[in-house]
Amino acid sequence: EVQLVESGGGLVQPGRSLRLSCAASGFTFDDYAMHWVRQAPGKGLEWVSGISWNSGSIGYADSVKGRFTISRDNAKNSLYLQMNSLRAEDTALYYCAKDKLGFLEWFTFDYWGQGTLVTVSS
Amino acid sequence: DIQMTQSPSTLSASVGDRVTITCRASQSISSWLAWYQQKPGKAPKLLIYKASSLESGVPSRFSGSGSGTEFTLTISSLQPDDFATYYCQRETFGQGTKVEIK
């Protein structure tokens, strides 16, 4: 059974940093691209960042480019999101999602975690 | 960046109705489009990928069509479990369509 478990969320002050993690199991992690998607309270879905199977291809939404860094450790079956210079508008539930492909091509997410909540507030 | 626009934003329908949701891309995306269903407090669920391919385990009353810039998601006979919010996606997501009980 595919499982994606996010962790690392919490309350953080504007301008500070936070690192999210996603532990994957139930599939061959290094065969697939992985993504972060967020959802602000009461709002729609926003793709944040994606990384190919071998970290050779990485993409970011314009809203987080230069502030967030995605990475993965295939030996640990883990995905990460380093979030710096956090803003109030980054407040959201952050989902980890598995792609159907290994490359950043389809952007089709067949499995999702339950999310970790990030709140940016003073 | 490619913008995805869904219509309508909200749709009121009854059980048994045929429901169609439209998604338009700001430029051609070939058939690289996915549709998701999300219920309150839950993670999204993949329904359709590559515009018209039904994800495993998804009921056949869901179907997708289109290519280029215009796409549709159709529910042939709305069931009580289908009242939810639906999103289209090609990298970025549409703003969502909430399907409500009429």
pLDDT in tens, A15-32: 999 999 999 999 999 999
In Å, how far is B21's CA from the nearest CA of chain A? 16
Please report how many Cα atoms fall inside a 13 Å half-sphere around the Cα of residue B57, on the Cβ side. Answer: 4
DSSP letter (8 states) at residue A110: E
Q: What is the pLDDT of residue A64?
A: 98
The answer, yes or no, to whether residue A102 has pLDDT greater than 90, is: no
Other Cβ atoms within 10 Å of A90 Cβ, number: 22
Which pLDDT value is given to residue A8?
A: 98
Q: How far apart are CA A57 and CA A89, in angstroms?
A: 26
Give me the residue from A59, A95, A107 closest to B89, CB to CB: A107
- Residue recorded with tokens 């502030």: A67
Residues within 8 A of B (CB atoms), A 51-70 only: 59, 61-62
CB contact under 8 A, B96 and A114: no
Low-confidence residues in chain B, pLDDT < 50:
none
Measured CA to CA in angstroms, residue A9 lies from A79, A83, B15 at distances of 14, 11, 39
User: Is residue A113 pLDDT above 90, yes or no?
Assistant: yes
Position A21 scores a pLDDT of 98
Looking at beta carbons, which residues of chain A come within 8 Å of B32? 105-107
Give the per-residue pLDDT at B30. 93
Least confident range from A52-56, A88-92, A99-103, B3-7: namely A99-103
Q: Is the dihedral of CA B6, B12, B16, B17 positive or negative?
A: negative
CB contact under 8 A, A106 and B46: no
Q: Report pLDDT for B1.
A: 84
Q: How does strand B53-54 pair with strand A3-7?
A: unpaired
